Amino acid sequence: MSGPETRLQRLTEIYGADLATVVAPRLEARLAGEPTTAARRRWSHDDIWLITYADQFTETDTAPLATLHDVLDDELADVVTGVHVLPFCPWSSDDGFAVIDYHEVHEPYGTWTDIERLAADRPFMADAVINHLSASSPWFEAFLADAEPHRRFFRTEHPDTDTSAVVRPRTHPLLTGFDTTGGPRWVWTTFSADQVDLDYAEPDVLLAVVDVVLHYARRGASAIRLDAVGFCWKDPATSSIHRPETHAIVQLLADCLADTHPGTILITETNVPHEENVSYLHPTIPEAQAVYQFPLAPLSAHAIRTGDVDVLVEWAAVIDPLVAPGRSFFNFLASHDGIGLRPAEGLLGDDAIDELVRATEATGGRVNHRTTPGGGTAPYELNVTWFDLIGEGVDTDTAIARHLATHALLLALPGVAGVYVHALVGSSNDLAGVDASGINRRINRQKFDRNDLRSSLVDDTTVASRVLAGMRALVGERRTRPAFHPEGRCTVDQPAPGVVRVQRRHDGHDGTCTINFRGTTVEADGPLGPYEVRWS
């Protein structure tokens, strides 16, 4: 259900009844002025989304967003159907995730016309980085000038406040001091000193973010990713993650979109343990239509490297009850951030995590850490390309076979398939990029000259060409089987040691994908070669 009464209920859960009755008319006025779009097609078994930066592909005298459109139409036309463009707004750091202005396109990338052209030709996902803004943003500059209403837009705290209960994704101090016209103020900076956290306890912040989300939908976004949304509501006496108010905010945004841009997919990005992650797939209240399937990457990496699929199968067996009409997952392995380890908590033991850390470092990769509640540190994220991590210690042919086997699982499980651009072509670590920038995550963010990429793809001996050909074949197999719809029923078992069998059913169609995660031939309804994938 959606509508003014539902939205008033959400606002009451966030602000209490008295303030909600003041905020509600202001929200409804915004929605009344929003041009309603026709209902968008949500998803099907055909859909494969490319995850990419706006300037991932470059060529002379062409805006990168225009080049991206052409690459999707030419080199990747038969592989991907949708595109998730990582933050394309003006930014100051973190390769786009310190947004300066939500309503503009970063000039070196192109224009809103380029974005709208991308969105007109395929499903398009925009990033809404709504936990924080750049310290160089006009909103924060107004905060520093102590100007209304922005002086209340960012979460501040007394520097002596006990914040030890707050869940941290980083090791730097939570609070950063800034000099303002009104005197020194200490601002929450969950991710970096340049990424200043918004304060949703101020209703003007929520209304401004509603404007942002509606703006992206109006510009053609058929899906909107809520980056790091779990951290939005702050309370230093609590963990300050996944607070009830945060869920109410996501539910409110979903309701606003349902009434103005029906069919728009709202996807939450919460790099946290599985049970916390799936809490945004509310069983009765419309909230996220999909959540990022974070455990898939560390569990798949562990399984393909060891041949032990016990944990992977046990976890995958509980996915099915979480899927329902209009509710599923966004499946991915590689990402611009690397491989999160928090989603493996409670699933993989310390020895398994240590092995993934060792393998990452053996490739020249890096490991980012976080501060734990006890004041110590723990591995938080592996900065390494997917191809290098799962191929560590083996030859190129085996690495390619492992790469394709793990992506077969991504395609077989319930959910929309998202493939990061570097996984699509089997990139190796960009060690030079890390050394030049001093930023660990740059290891998996190398950009391509389009002509160089085209030359690599036409040479069938290169890793890029071989991986893309293998991915094309896997995608083709899935597309012939409607049972692999994102909402299809799913049963996962282990018919033989090291083998994962995924059985799917949707709308009267049945299909099975059987994958050997071991480097030896096994018997699973017939011989299954090393890392072989069998569809039926």
Residues designated catalytic? 227
Q: Give the separation between CA 199 and CA 232, rounded to whole angstroms.
A: 8
Half-sphere exposure of 164 (CA within 13 A, CB side): 6
Alpha-carbon gap, residue 76 to 317, rounded angstroms: 33
Task: Give, as one character, the DSSP assignment of residue 327.
Answer: B
- Provide the 10 A C-beta neighbour count for residue 529: 14
Q: Compute how many other C-beta atoms are within 10 angstroms of the C-beta atom of residue 260.
A: 21
CA distances, 308 to each of 304, 314, 347 (Å):
7, 12, 13
Q: How far is CA 491 from the centre of its chain?
A: 25
Q: Which long-range contacts (CB under 8 A, 24 or more apart) does 36-40 make?
A: 36/259, 36/260, 36/261, 36/262, 37/217, 37/218, 37/260, 37/261, 37/262, 38/262, 39/262, 39/263, 40/222, 40/261, 40/262, 40/263, 40/264
CA distance 130 to 253: 12
Tokens in use for 117?
Answer: 């052209």
As beta bridge partners, residue 324 has 327
Beta strands in 148-279 (DSSP E): 175-180, 183-188, 195-197, 223-227, 265-269
Written as six digits, the tokens of 207 are: 């209304």
The DSSP call for residue 336 is S
List Cα–Cα distances, 381 to 129, 271, 387, 421, 481, in angstroms: 20, 10, 16, 19, 35
Contacts of 388 (CB under 8 A, 6+ apart): 363, 364, 365, 428, 429
The dihedral over CA atoms of 420, 423, 429, 433, expressed in degrees to the nearest 10, equals: -30
Cα 284 to Cα 267: distance, rounded to the nearest angstrom:
17
Q: Sort 218 into a burial class: Cβ within 10 Å, 0-12 / 13-18 / 19+.
A: middle
CB 53 within 8 Å of CB 445? yes
Q: 16: which residues sit within 8 A by CB, 6+ positions away?
A: none
Instruction: Please compute, for residue 302, the number of CA atoms within 13 A of its CA located in the half-sphere on the CB side.
Output: 26
